[in-house]
Structure 1
């Protein structure tokens, strides 16, 4: 490691300051805290709980912080202020409590009983922006977010009686391991030379790296083995720990949390002073950190770290290639890979959260990464090799980058007002998305057999395309169901195409995810993507089934929709053994469609007497999601909201400039 840096505690000046601080803190002792400070808990040290500074933190000049607690007026039970009982109207958020929450499988803290049921947190935050359904939770306001559609399907989704809260009662609390003990994490401060073992590095490069090659594997391995210099001091250590955490998390096929200790150590190496310099190592670490945090259900934190990485990347000029620049081919290619991996992170998160596009569209002239084998481009290469015709590590980032370049103009339209017509979207789809599909290499085709290690990557690329089309067209599915209820509108050719394409992509996604999960090797990375795209797709048959229920008629398509939901529930139940979030998704889907399963019975439903039939008309459902999906529209008063006619909704979806709500 970096031998030039001395331990600050060995410095006599620091020691003197620490001793002075210790004496001062003793003189200013204000009392005792109810629990240990965060630093002592992190080090698993015995804390004397002295206020304002405990003895150990005073001795070693460490930052001493105590968590404040609140008492709710009804339950009088303690809770952490990081997760307040009421979410702010300003969309404020605090995800600091998530890490502690994730040390358990079911979201409870270590001081609670492992055998009793556990109260749900006041807010549910998930990195998929699908279960965070309160109006003020996380700022997932756009038409593209799953949270908005879930609120559409069940208007009580944002309340304490909604499907997520009710579904949570279906399952008893689970213990953390088979023997009822807490999982033992790695030691507090592992040394990379000893504890970031080869298996963790291999895990990262064996799966995650194939999708997001933001780090050059041969270079990093040479640095890790100290065959070449490790650059940028502690920044390299920071990157190494993030890589280890990501490797452990993504390749695990259980719900273990061993990655948390590694990630905590990575965070301990991150300092604000790093932002006063810029280097490629730090950009790589911040980018990986952001993507990891999204998968650990800390999406807003990850979003912020990604912003830092993006700004720093532009500061280093990664978005530019200069004519006549005498830069070695390998270094240029690494810059391209880092830039476009950040683009995939940023744009993917933007669509997931339904937020405006922040990734720069103008002034970017860096080429896409080449689809090449690492062995053909080394530090000694003086020219670029010919692109490979087979799947490589860089195939996925190339395909996704080109997909986002093709789809971003469409995304910008569907999150803007007025909402595009079906004719416009069908034409954009045919001109941009279909052309992108036709230009894809043949190894991305559904039936093309690629090597086992690339099958997750192959599936992810096609799921992203299918999901984007679902997002494009699902408003037209909703509108058609509203119109069919009164039999008062004959859809145009393009409207019928939009409806059919949405249902087709939803069915294709459900079938593809089911096939993938049945036959491919399981990992948490594959589970995360499979669950996200499956949940998004399953909302479409959910909408259709609930509309048929409201009409009190039977559609010839009902059996197909029911079968899609059955498959969805089976896959989600299986994914739940790896990704606990899947259990919540499973229960939400069941809650939404339970009235349609007349011939089915569910043991979980019998456990919950609160599962009452939902009899809202599509109009009522639509009114409850109105402000959530289109936040730029004026707020409607209570009377108008309850009596809004579907012609106003249709006018809103169509391109009519005289609509007062556009």
Structure 2
């Protein structure tokens, strides 16, 4: 998780939208300039029943294991990111229809299996690792880079996300960049109505493009790097259709009508739309100077305008009956990302305001715009925490749900901590204290066996110890104005910047 690395070593660039900047400033502010070393004891992982590591080679090629891992992928991961057409892939897997180019399809197969293993939370880390490297080996072939095909783009997109989940963010970023270039060379950003392809093939192209768009937009914002995807003016590809799979097959000749209820593709349709509308915000925030409050408020208004266009079934207060369990996660994640964008817009302004008001030499009154910025950031953080608390209590918790819940909860908690440390006289203090208690309960009770959640809780305890939270003794808290010079901070080491404050054995932790 990239936001949890604070060691500046200069091996890779992380920009101002990366969580590392905000986290590092809070740690320095609370007097923790060195990485915090916590309890590194291993938490036992539940046994999932796959073969032992001594049988790895046979396991990877076993029909039973292949089916189990492919099922894991389509039952969990695919329900949130459906840009591999399941009926087509399964028909290719069983050789009912011809497979695409051997190497690109093999890379896709092993990547899907590796993601399936990850989703199943299997305790056989060696099998997971072997599948990852098998997929990577098929991507190394020089012949694959000579020409592009849709299957290879799918494999690259999935492999990049798998790399990020395995705490190899630079590897993931590089493969995502390659996928973007290949997608553009295939014209996936264009509708190309004169092409003689089936309706299903055309829709599959759209799903791959918008899946790529979602991942590249999200990763670029997470790591503080410019979004290189084309804007609306350079694309004419249509959004994915909000339809059921059975309404569009290889023999469909008339385009199906979209439905006004949740489908497998609802989450992708509206999350990609959010990125189209908000990518300019992420790029603007990468400026070395902090945006003006008025500009930030305009960006926030843009997000609110977009959210007002969402269909009723995507509103959290709307009770959707008979929807599949994954829909509730996809809907919640859309709002978590929406609130996270608000947090990213305002958190530097909030920190700047906190530094100014805590400095005895700076007595200028806080402007109305500054106050609004702080309030929006805090409301977004509180809404995130409340939503994740409710979701983890009421809904199914897959490994994918766990990963995103921890990620967005941690980002939100940092804003609440800043509010507590910088506004000790606020009448909202009891609400903020309750938010922190909720975060601690999520990390320590809901995800009790998750090492990442435990370490997130440890970091919060370092910045906001329980006695301080209970007594409200803020007298010794000091803010350093030099913390705001984000442009002077080098990034963390390439494959270590997902580690929690420099713990070297991060890749081995269950997540």
TM-score (normalised: structure 1):
0.67
Separation (CA, whole Å) in 2 of partners of 1:188 and 1:157: 50
- What corresponds to 1:494 in structure 2? 369
**How far apart are the structure 1 equivalents of 2:305 and 2:46?**
51
- Which position in structure 2 is the counterpart of 1:627? 486
Q: Give the structure with the larger helix fraction.
A: 2
Contact 1:255 1:580 in 2 (8 A): no
Deviation at 1:481, TM superposition (A): 2.1
Counterpart-to-counterpart distance in 2, 1:283 and 1:189:
28
The answer on whether the counterparts of 1:241 and 1:263 sit within 8 Å (CA) in structure 2 is yes
8 Å contact kept, 2:13–2:490: no
Aligned counterpart, 2:312: 442
Alpha-carbon separation, structure 1, partners of 2:239 and 2:333: 19
- Which residue of structure 1 lines up, in the alignment, with residue 400 of structure 2? 525
Structure-2 change in CA distance of 1:385 and 1:504 (3 Å): same
**Partners of 2:211 and 2:179 in 1: how far apart?**
11
Q: Distance in 2 between matches of 1:158 and 1:265?
A: 45
Of 42, 67, 70, 1:174 maps to: 42
State how far apart, in whole Å, the 2-side matches of 1:497 and 1:597 are.
27
Aligned to 2:264: 393
By how many angstroms is 1:465 displaced?
0.2
Which of 1 and 2 has greater Rg? 1
Q: Deviations over 1:118-148 (max 9, x none)?
A: xxxxxxxxxx311111122663532211111
435 and 231 in structure 1: CA distance in 2 versus 1, 3 angstrom threshold: same
Classify the secondary structure of the residue corresponding to 1:197.
helix
Secondary structure of 2:63's counterpart equals: coil
For structure 2, the 5+ residue unaligned runs are 492-511
CA positional deviation for 1:256: 5.7
2:179 maps to what in 1?
309
Q: What SS does structure 1 have at the residue aligned with 2:3?
A: coil
Secondary structure of 1:419's match?
coil
Conserved? CA contact 2:8–2:490, under 8 Å: no
Aligned to 2:326: 453
Identify which of 261, 265, 272 aligns with 2:134. Answer: 265
Quote the offset at 1:355 in angstroms: 1.2
Give the conservation status (yes or no) of the 8 Å contact 2:30–2:477.
no
Equivalent of 1:214 in 83, 108, 111:
83
Q: Deviations over 1:535-570 (max 9, x none)?
A: 10000121122335xxxx544333222221111111
User: CA–CA distance in 2 between the matches of 1:495 and 1:537?
Assistant: 19
8 A contact 1:467–1:537 mirrored in 2: yes
Deviates more, 1:255-264 or 1:587-596: 255-264
Alpha-carbon distance change, 520 to 491 in structure 1, aligned in 2, over 3 angstroms: same
1:242 maps to which residue? 111
Structure 1 residues 629 and 222, CA gap change in structure 2 (3 angstroms):
farther
1:267/1:454 Cα in 2 relative to 1: closer, same or farther (>3 Å)?
same
Q: Distance in 2 between matches of 1:217 and 1:290?
A: 20
Q: 1:340: which partner in 2? A: 210
Equivalent residue for 1:19? none
Alignment partners' CA distance in 1, 2:62 and 2:94: 9
Aligned to 2:414: 539
Structure 2 residue corresponding to 1:142, chosen from 15, 30, 46: 15
Question: Greater shift after overlay, 365-374 or 139-148?
Answer: 139-148
Map of 2:498 onto structure 1: none
- Identify the range of structure 1 (342-351 vs 237-246) with the bigger mean alpha-carbon deviation: 237-246
Specify whether residues 212 and 513 from structure 1 end up closer, same or farther in structure 2 by C-alpha distance, changes over 3 A only: same
Mapped pair 1:225 → 2:94: yes
Contact in 2 for aligned 1:371/1:392 (Cα 8 Å):
yes
User: Following TM superposition, by how much is the alpha carbon of 1:347 offset from its aligned partner in structure 2, in angstroms?
Assistant: 0.6
Q: Deviations over 1:55-99 (max 9, x none)?
A: xxxxxxxxxxxxxxxxxxxxxxxxxxxxxxxxxxxxxxxxxxxxx
Residue correspondences, number: 478
Change (3 A) 1:158 1:367: farther
2:240 to 369, 378, 394: 369
Specify every segment of 5 or more residues in structure 1 that has no aligned partner in the other structure, as ranges. 1-127, 601-612, 633-662
Identify which of 438, 459, 463 aligns with 1:588.
459
- Which residue does 1:484 correspond to in 2? 357
Q: 1:155 pairs with 13, 25, 28, which one? A: 28
Q: Does the CA contact (< 8 Å) of 2:157 and 2:179 recur in 1?
A: yes
Shift of 1:189: 5.5
User: Structure 1 residues 175, 556: CA separation in 2 closer, same or farther (over 3 Å shift)?
Assistant: closer
- Where 2:464 maps in the other structure, the secondary structure is helix
Q: What SS is found at the alignment partner of 2:222? A: helix
Residue in 1 that maps onto 2:254: 383
Partners of 2:236 and 2:154 in 1: how far apart? 20
Asked if residue 561 in structure 1 is aligned to residue 432 in structure 2, the reply is yes
Corresponding residue for residue 340 of structure 2 = 467
CA contact (8 A) 1:242 1:285 kept: yes
CA-CA distance at 1:208 after TM superposition: 1.2
Q: Mean Cα displacement is larger for which, 502-511 or 554-563?
A: 554-563
Q: Is the 8 A contact 1:143 1:629 kept in 2?
A: no
Cα contact 1:575–1:582 (8 A) shared by 2: no
With over 3 angstroms needed to count, the CA separation of the structure-2 counterparts of 1:630 and 1:492, relative to structure 1, is farther
Closer/same/farther in 2, CA of residues 272 and 537 from structure 1, 3 Å limit: same
Alignment check: 8 A CA contact 2:60 2:66 kept: no
Give the match's secondary structure for 1:268: helix
Decide which of 57, 71, 78 is 1:188's aligned counterpart: 57
- 1:360 positional shift: 2.3
Contact between 2:43 and 2:450, CA under 8 Å: does it hold in 1? no
Deviates more, 1:202-211 or 1:436-445: 202-211
- Aligned-residue CA RMSD (Å): 2.8
Q: Show the counterpart of 1:46.
A: none
Contact kept, 8 Å, 2:46 with 2:123, in 1: the verdict is no
Matching residue of 1:651:
none
- SS at structure 1 position matched to 2:343: helix
Q: 2: CA distance between counterparts of 1:195 and 1:263?
A: 19
Secondary structure in 1 matching 2:258? coil
Show the counterpart of 1:358.
Answer: 228
